[in-house]
Structure 1
Amino acid sequence: MTFAVLITLLVLVLLIGFLLFTNASTDVVIIGSLVLLMLFGVLTPIQALSGFIETGPLMIGGLFVVAAGLRETGMVERVAKLLLGRPNTLSGAQFRLMIPVSVLSGFMNTTAIVAMYLPIVSDWAKRIGVSSSKLYMPLSFSAIFGGQFSQLGTATNLVILGLYIKWSESDQSNWAREIGGGELSSAAEFWGMTASGIPAAILGISFIALFSKWLLPDRVKQMDITDEARRYEVTMRVDPGAALLGKTIEEANLRSLPGLYLFGIERGSTMLHAVGPDECLQENDLLHFAGVLESVVDLTRIRGLTPAEGDSGLHQSRRVLVEAVVSAEAPFIGQTVKQCSFRTTYGAAIIGVFRSGEKRSGKIGNMTLEPGDTLLLDSSAGFARLNKDSRDFYLVSTVEGGRVVRHDRALISGLILLAMIILLITGWTDKVVAVWLAAMAMIGTRCLSGAIARSAINWQVLLTIGGAIGIGQAVQASGLAKIGATGLLDVVSTMADSPRLILASVILITGFLAQFVTNYGAATIMFAIVILIAETLGLRPEPFVFGLMAGAGCNFLTPIGYQTNLMVFGPGGYRFTDFMRLGIPLLVIVIFCATLIIPLVFPFS
């Protein structure tokens, strides 16, 4: 065992140990491991950092910006309502999520799909009252299953088929042609994985929906609504011509936000109390709500509703929600919300008021402001900066996620997304170029600002993915991967009488190897091995090649094995072992389906 192999092995043990037994951040552990590999000379800085300029991380960075543009324009909420609906059970929610994701993943980049779905799932989970940790991992795993539907499913399929086509056209494949193998038709290349991929996806998705309630813990808790939570009273007006007109309260999803209560509707001179779910909305209805801050923020994002007390008059691109606690020295003490010239004085409009220890059910405009009242303001980001030291307020802070939605740009952001998908599917331009073209188009058409775009990029995810690719390079460069592959060849040579058992072993070992050297690395390492196995045993290579695709796509066991797992690892609040708990049964399902079905489509002899 060489020094490089020993160091790489020790670094891998340390990495897994830190992820398993400590609360250290994943990106810190991975980058720290990469630094150790450079320190001991296993990798040069260029090799170690090459992962950061791979297609995957570069695409993901742009996709974060595209997803932010969709969210800022309200397109995320529209897509969620169209695709996901309002299921009544956890399993129903998971089916609604996983089926379309798996189908889409069969024909376009899985990373792009998961990146686009992440903000959708975050909002949707809150609306249906489900912990997002019950949905993020199924999102990633369903995309992985979909990658086995066709040649386009994952880049790994393309890599393996490219290696096989190049091999089949060389003289090295003469022995395979003699026994009827060595060449694939165009249909076999494109749909070869479908026969085992679809049954595996059906069984795998069904398993997740039926058993994940026990196998996946609630790492991210649902919104904790207590009696002490701040409950604002907010009045929203139904805009003329809004899509909400004629819909019931239930159909408009105004009862689905947790911690938000519609206690009355003011319609002309009539006040409706105890509003039922079947009450239809009419033009200029004033809807009186009381609810926690997070749900009030979501309420302001609904298209067709605007604050009844007016707004700040600022352009949508500058407007944010701000909280301010009224001090005893404020000049508007003793005045009602309607009476005080708050907007003129501060450049902000009061859209909600919270008063500790007092529950009210009247109009906000008639509330007399008192010291200690917390005001929810429609203002600019500069309000907090200008008034943080003001004697009029005890505390001023910008509300997270409280930017005003640019609904007028929703169609534009949707068209940009559609154009990006077309470019990704057709391959008219490079994938990285397609994604960043869409990202720049989002900024250029003012779907979001440059500042929001910069803050939308999750650098922790990018550091983790780039570092993981570098560690995969170390496993190959040090020779550790070759040692493992040679050991596999020695093992399977004892199974010559059972080709299916050999195929199962190939899938299992490839799947395990892919967790640590990435699926690309596992595919490249194992390809030469499976060809040698087939030649040694006198069997056609096709079933082993497609088994190699199945194994390289089994990225269920660790968060570092695949980019989509890394993308959901942080937002889902998962631990390293959570992936194994759900992933091991899924790996067994893939091995079973591939071992059973692939030899029926591509016989061993």
Structure 2
Amino acid sequence: MTYDVFIVITIIGTMIFCLLKEAFRPDFILFCALAALVLFGVITPAEAVKGFSNEAILTVALLFIIAGAVQQSEILTLLVAKALGRGHHPRRSLFKMMIPLSGLSAFLNNTPIVVMFTPIVHRWCQNRNISPSKFLIPLSYATIFGGTITLIGTSTNLLAHGLMIENGLPGYSMFQLAVVAVPGAILGTIFMSTIGYSILPLRRSADGHFQITRKTSPEIAVEEKSLIFARKNSASQRRSSKNVYLISSMKSPEVSDRKNTMFAIIILMATVLTAALNIMSMFTAALSAVIVLFLFKIVSFDSAKKYVHFNVLLMIACSIGIGVSLEVSGTASLLADQLIKITKESGVIGMLIVLYFLTNIFTEIITNNAAVVIMFPIALAAAEKMAADPTAFLVTITIAASASFTTPIGYQTNLIVYEPGGYRFTDYFKTGIPLSMIYLIVTVTVSYFVWL
């Protein structure tokens, strides 16, 4: 083991430990790991900042803005509410709910969708005397299913796409992952609305009954003339007061009407179509869409800044630099050699299973983006050593990184529904383990027969 390999394993091991223990924010942990790799001379400053100019991170930022404009639409809420129906047949309602949710999350960010629909589904269950615990985990899972279908379904897909381009590979097309993801989503939806529905607990909330709490706070609007004697920084100083909270300064309100949101939906559809038909690259299509949204004042610069999740962008950028360290230090090649020895008897199929399994474990205990970063160079090195098409290996780890079903902490959407559904940690194991096995079998089988 060389000095560089030892340093990389030590730093990444420490990073994983800190992520597991939630010692700090994930973006801060990854940033510190990247900085340590530079300080120890494993990678150069130029290699460290490579991720900040990566096409994937810029595309993700643009897609956040487009998705933010679309997610204001009432049409999305009405679509899912209509799918739920009257609830006379809960399993059928669950099946019909999961289909549009998977479709939406194929093109929009998963987290806002779950945040938006959790109270709607919870209220729908309450009104029909149905346990929300039967519907909220499937709500989260449906968005995970959909997120794996397209290139823009989740930042993990775009990160893997960007890493492929960085390594001289063509990257994913818009619907390339759908070959694996659609069968997985279909089988997953059928499982959750049949066997999974029976496995899910009959639980209304953490203490056995619904608890709807209305929180209110007195609010006043201060007229401009009332501030005439205030110092310039008085308002900002009030932010730290224990009794007064400054919500915002008064600005011209942004009008979010059906016309604007419909226009935003059309822009999203046009973006997907132009990228799918290879008329433009995903980045160029997204950039053009954002420019149109600005020109027609569908999105303002202030709202655009609110839509962009800068912590996610920082994590992706740092992840790319960490991935470079695995490659240039020889760590990825060393680990690939060890995996080849382990899977010697079972060959390529055995390697795909091991890659899926390891990636899935990482995504359950750390973050999905970090899981891709750690496993990408290992998968690429393994493909090269086995003289196989790397696409099968990379699709396997990309799907595995998003297929987080067995813990509430593995994926943010799982955590969002944890308390409203009154779940326990073990509830995710009961439905998640068989669902993970379904995805493993589908991913490995399809990847093998399509690309190998």
TM-score by shorter chain over 0.5: yes
Instruction: Report if the CA contact (8 A) 2:355-2:379 is conserved.
Output: no
Instruction: Report if the CA contact (8 A) 1:84-1:93 is conserved.
Output: no
Please, which runs of 5 or more residues in structure 2 have no aligned partner? 123-131, 227-233, 361-370, 420-424
Alignment partner, residue 185 of structure 2: 201
Distance 1:451 1:525, change over 3 A: same
1:136-535 correspondence to structure 2 within 5 Å: 137-139=140-142, 141-143=144-146, 145-146=148-149, 194=179, 198-207=182-191, 210=196, 213=200, 225-226=212-213, 229-230=215-216, 323-324=219-220, 397-398=246-247, 405-407=255-257, 408-493=259-344, 495=345, 503-509=349-355, 512=358, 515-517=371-373, 520-531=376-387
1:588 maps to 2:437 = yes
Q: CA deviation at 1:159?
A: 9.3
Instruction: Report if the CA contact (8 A) 2:56-2:161 is conserved.
Output: no
Q: Secondary structure at the match of 2:219?
A: strand
Looking at structure 2, the residues matched to 405 and 443 of structure 1 have their Cα atoms a distance apart, in angstroms, of 14
Q: CA deviation at 1:19?
A: 1.6
Looking at structure 1, the residues matched to 235 and 263 of structure 2 have their Cα atoms a distance apart, in angstroms, of 32
Alignment partner, residue 46 of structure 2: 46
Alignment partner, residue 120 of structure 2: 127
Higher strand share: 1
- CA displacement, residues 475-502 of structure 1 (integer Å, 9 cap, x when unaligned): 2222111111111222233x1xx56xx5
Q: Secondary structure at the match of 1:476?
A: helix
- CA displacement, residues 316-341 of structure 1 (integer Å, 9 cap, x when unaligned): xxxxxx93189xxxxxxxxxxxxxxx
Q: CA deviation at 1:40?
A: 0.7
Looking at structure 2, the residues matched to 68 and 126 of structure 1 have their Cα atoms a distance apart, in angstroms, of 19
Alignment partner, residue 363 of structure 2: none
Q: CA deviation at 1:27?
A: 0.9
- CA displacement, residues 370-416 of structure 1 (integer Å, 9 cap, x when unaligned): xxxxxxxxxxxxxx969x9xxxxx96844799956431423332332
Instruction: Report if the CA contact (8 A) 1:69-1:447 is conserved.
Output: yes
Alignment partner for residue 555 of structure 1, among 385, 401, 410?
Answer: 401
Alignment partner, residue 12 of structure 1: 12
Looking at structure 1, the residues matched to 414 and 321 of structure 2 have their Cα atoms a distance apart, in angstroms, of 19
Instruction: Report if the CA contact (8 A) 1:510-1:548 is conserved.
Output: no
- CA displacement, residues 338-364 of structure 1 (integer Å, 9 cap, x when unaligned): xxxxx9999xxxxxxxxxxxxxxxxxx
Q: CA deviation at 1:467?
A: 1.5
Q: Secondary structure at the match of 2:299?
A: coil
Instruction: Report if the CA contact (8 A) 1:145-1:200 is conserved.
Output: no
Alignment partner, residue 363 of structure 1: none
- Say which is worse superposed, 201-210 or 477-486, in terms of deviation: 201-210
Distance 1:400 1:42, change over 3 A: farther
Q: CA deviation at 1:427?
A: 2.2
Looking at structure 1, the residues matched to 404 and 37 of structure 2 have their Cα atoms a distance apart, in angstroms, of 21
Instruction: Report if the CA contact (8 A) 1:511-1:552 is conserved.
Output: no
Indicate the structure (1 or 2) with the bigger Cα radius of gyration.
1
Q: CA deviation at 1:20?
A: 1.5
Instruction: Report if the CA contact (8 A) 1:64-1:458 is conserved.
Output: yes
Alignment partner, residue 64 of structure 2: 64
Instruction: Report if the CA contact (8 A) 1:513-1:522 is conserved.
Output: no
Q: CA deviation at 1:137?
A: 4.7
Looking at structure 2, the residues matched to 405 and 93 of structure 1 have their Cα atoms a distance apart, in angstroms, of 34
Q: CA deviation at 1:463?
A: 0.9
One-letter amino acid of the structure 2 residue matched with residue 555 of structure 1: A
Looking at structure 2, the residues matched to 578 and 49 of structure 1 have their Cα atoms a distance apart, in angstroms, of 40
One-letter amino acid of the structure 1 residue matched with residue 386 of structure 2: V
Alignment partner, residue 78 of structure 2: 81
Looking at structure 2, the residues matched to 25 and 164 of structure 1 have their Cα atoms a distance apart, in angstroms, of 32
1:21 maps to 2:24 = no
Looking at structure 1, the residues matched to 187 and 51 of structure 2 have their Cα atoms a distance apart, in angstroms, of 34
Q: CA deviation at 1:23?
A: 4.7
Distance 1:30 1:530, change over 3 A: same
Higher helix share: 2
Alignment partner, residue 331 of structure 1: none
Looking at structure 2, the residues matched to 97 and 401 of structure 1 have their Cα atoms a distance apart, in angstroms, of 39
Q: CA deviation at 1:505?
A: 3.5
Looking at structure 2, the residues matched to 92 and 398 of structure 1 have their Cα atoms a distance apart, in angstroms, of 43
Q: Secondary structure at the match of 2:298?
A: coil
Q: Secondary structure at the match of 2:17?
A: helix
Looking at structure 1, the residues matched to 428 and 49 of structure 2 have their Cα atoms a distance apart, in angstroms, of 28
TM-score, normalised via structure 2 length: 0.67
- CA displacement, residues 527-579 of structure 1 (integer Å, 9 cap, x when unaligned): 21332xxxxxxxxx68x9746633553214779xxxxx8785897799xx999
Looking at structure 1, the residues matched to 82 and 249 of structure 2 have their Cα atoms a distance apart, in angstroms, of 26
Q: Secondary structure at the match of 1:126?
A: helix
Instruction: Report if the CA contact (8 A) 1:530-1:545 is conserved.
Output: no
Q: CA deviation at 1:64?
A: 1.7
Looking at structure 1, the residues matched to 219 and 59 of structure 2 have their Cα atoms a distance apart, in angstroms, of 36
Looking at structure 2, the residues matched to 588 and 102 of structure 1 have their Cα atoms a distance apart, in angstroms, of 19
Distance 1:125 1:569, change over 3 A: closer
One-letter amino acid of the structure 2 residue matched with residue 479 of structure 1: G
One-letter amino acid of the structure 2 residue matched with residue 525 of structure 1: A
Instruction: Report if the CA contact (8 A) 2:376-2:397 is conserved.
Output: no
Q: CA deviation at 1:197?
A: 5.3
Distance 1:580 1:126, change over 3 A: closer
Alignment partner, residue 244 of structure 1: none
Instruction: Report if the CA contact (8 A) 1:556-1:587 is conserved.
Output: no
Structure 1 vs Structure 2 CA RMSD: 5.1
TM-score, normalised via structure 1 length: 0.52
One-letter amino acid of the structure 2 residue matched with residue 128 of structure 1: V
Distance 1:584 1:160, change over 3 A: farther
Looking at structure 1, the residues matched to 325 and 147 of structure 2 have their Cα atoms a distance apart, in angstroms, of 25
